[in-house]
């Protein structure tokens, strides 16, 4: 179940970062994460604004994660010479400079991992007061 549609994203969340063609895919990933952390309790509360807003915020984060992962793949497939990535090239008086192999790919991977750890912070921001994050527990009786 996808908790927010593109119209909600633009009109209510007032989002501008995600294009309509990409929203469905990103919102699906965000909704799956919401289901995971709420142990599917969000499905019974899909009409809650907090759930929809959380979906939109997480979809934007998913887009950032996807972009970082794409950058890391591009860096890994960049032209290399003896383990070094081409950093810059010039044409007039031809020159080429290199950087340590994989450094930009590593930076992109670390950025994606850092953003993934932000998911729960975003979920708490929107869902903390709803009771959807409550996983049980309580008083022990003897």
SS (H, E, C) 96-130: EEEEECCHHHHHHHHHHHHHHHCHHHHHHHHHHHH
Q: pLDDT at position 135, please?
A: 83
The alpha carbon dihedral of 12, 18, 23, 26 has a sign of negative
Q: What tokens does 53 get?
A: 């807003």
Q: What is the pLDDT along the chain (142 residues), one digit of tens a residue?
A: 999 999 999 999 999 999 999 999 999 999 999 999 999 999 999 999 999 999 999 999 999 988 887 877 766 555 444 555 556 666 666 766 666 545 666 776 677 677 778 999 999 999 999 999 998 766 656 5
What does the alpha-carbon distance between residue 100 and residue 116 come to, in Å, rounded to a whole number? 26
Assessment of whether the complete model's pTM goes beyond 0.85: no
What DSSP string describes 41-62? GGGGGTT-HHHHHHHHHHHHHH
Q: pLDDT at position 78, please?
A: 52
- β-bridge mates for residue 100, sequence order: 84
Q: pLDDT at position 116, please?
A: 79
Place of tokens 């970062």: 17
- β-bridge mates for residue 89, sequence order: 96
């Amino acid at each position: 179940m996808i908790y927010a549609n593109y119209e909600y994203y633009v009109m209510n969340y007032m989002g501008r970062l995600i294009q309509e063609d990409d929203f469905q895919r990103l919102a699906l990933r965000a909704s799956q994460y919401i289901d995971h952390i709420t142990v599917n309790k969000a499905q019974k509360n899909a009409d809650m604004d907090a759930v929809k807003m959380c979906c939109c915020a997480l979809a934007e984060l998913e887009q950032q994660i996807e972009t970082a992962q794409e950058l890391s793949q591009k860096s890994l497939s960049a032209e290399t010479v003896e383990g070094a990535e081409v950093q810059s090239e010039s044409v007039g008086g031809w020159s080429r400079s290199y950087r340590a192999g994989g450094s930009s790919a590593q930076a992109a991977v670390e950025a994606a991992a850092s953003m993934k750890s932000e998911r729960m912070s975003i979920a708490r921001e929107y869902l903390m007061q709803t009771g959807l994050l409550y996983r049980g527990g309580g008083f022990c009786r003897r």
